[in-house]
Amino acid sequence: MVANTPEMKYTIQSPQRLISAPVLLPASKSISNRALILKALSKSSFAIENLSDSDDTEVMIAAFSDNQYEINIGAAGTSMRFLTAYLAQLEGEEHIITGTERMKNRPIRILVDALRQLGADIEYVEKEGFPPLKIKGKELTGGAISLDGSISSQYISALMMIAPAMSNGLILTLEGKIISRPYIQLTCQMMQDFGVAAQLDDNIIQIEHQNYIPTPYFVESDWSAASYWYEILALTNDNVNIELLGLQEKSSQGDAKIAELFDYLGVSTTYTEKGIRLSKNTNRPVKFVYDFVNEPDMAQTFVVTCCLLNIPFRFTGLQSLKIKETDRISALQKELKKLGYIIVDFDNSILEWTGEKCEPEENPVIDTYEDHRMAMAFAPASLALGKIIINEPQVVSKSYPNYWRDLLKTGFKGF
């Protein structure tokens, strides 16, 4: 592989025939990052097995091992949110947490306001409402607070995980429509795995003051990473199978829903002892309508797939996409227009394609906006276009460092 540089780009060429090679998927960074916080809160000496090797997890590991006054988490949004809450309850310690320029423009006021209500001492170092943050750790009093349920579930999970350390525990009421509920349920399940009782009742989360129990933990593979292989099989004309290793049928990951969703787009899932096997089927909807409120990270994969399959769609529940690694709604519109597709958004929460097209660029170059999912969702477009150029392909290291290597193994070329 080529060394990463700021000007780096890959020209992804479609394979002459897709090679049916087994793919070992990366460990889930969502589970890995939660496990690291819970290990620290439980003061566990047990190792966490199969930790993700993603950038997001590496910065979490460094934060716990380096013990630096200033913690730079780069572009890792999950790490920023989880560590902000963790550091707030770390009595007697003071830290500054910062990140990339993009991170300094990702809002964090909602989490900071909530932590302050619960007793935290947090100051903004530069711009009000945004990182970097100066955090003086102390015992948090806790209590009852309310949050808008449509905010990022990472704010909610961050508060949940430190709730047992609060002297009065936490009663968190989520108002309105709750997005990414499976991630909240994942946090609840993992807290229980570490010995803490967390009660999730519709829109109310109750967690009493209690102690975590040190626990050995194994991280399962990432269903989000699997989505790009579903996309590849949906777009190829080759009648091949793809085996994805390390996935579990009874997974606590909300993105496991993709197995059901891609069945409508021509990809069947068979569960095996080692993971899953993907194969082609003849399903093809006239129009695909779905509410991604529980799986917003999968929106890019399905938007690109449906366009290239010429399947009109209407996807709702995308309100959190504006505050991800980039404004994913705007990014999808801009990049798909290069391929000849006119995507319309409504209220920053709905994306729709009616079949409207424009003249595509002759040699489209896809910008990735420091967003790993933009690179991984657009690379399979080479199957439909013959080739596609991806700018700054190194961004995949945020969640799936071996993505390009795995594509090479299955027959993609040119990089």
Which residues are catalytically annotated? Answer: 297
Interatomic CA distance for residues 95 and 76, integer angstroms: 17
Q: Which two tokens stand for residue 184?
A: 């909240």
From residue 44, give the alpha-carbon distance in Å to each of 38, 41, 211, 213, 214. 9, 8, 12, 8, 4
Tell me if residue 374 falls in helix, strand or coil.
helix
Single-letter code of the amino acid located at 323? I
The backbone torsions φ and ψ at residue 5, rounded to the nearest 5 degrees and listed phi first, read: -140, 160
Question: DSSP string covering 71-102, please?
Answer: EE-TT-HHHHHHHHHHHHTSTT-EEEEE--TT
Q: What is the CA radius of gyration of the chain?
A: 21
Assess whether the previous peptide bond of 132 is cis (omega < 30° from 0): yes
Angle at 223 between CA 217 and CA 227, to 5 degrees: 165
Q: Which two tokens stand for residue 355?
A: 């079949």
The sign of the CA dihedral 342, 337, 292, 283 is positive
From residue 367, give the alpha-carbon distance in Å to each of 102, 373, 379. 15, 11, 11
Question: Which of 334, 310, 286, 293 has its CA nearest to residue 234?
Answer: 310
Interatomic CA distance for residues 210 and 208, integer angstroms: 6
Q: 183 and 34 in contact (C-beta within 8 Å)?
A: no
Tell me if residue 391 falls in helix, strand or coil.
strand
278's enclosing H/E stretch is: strand 275-280
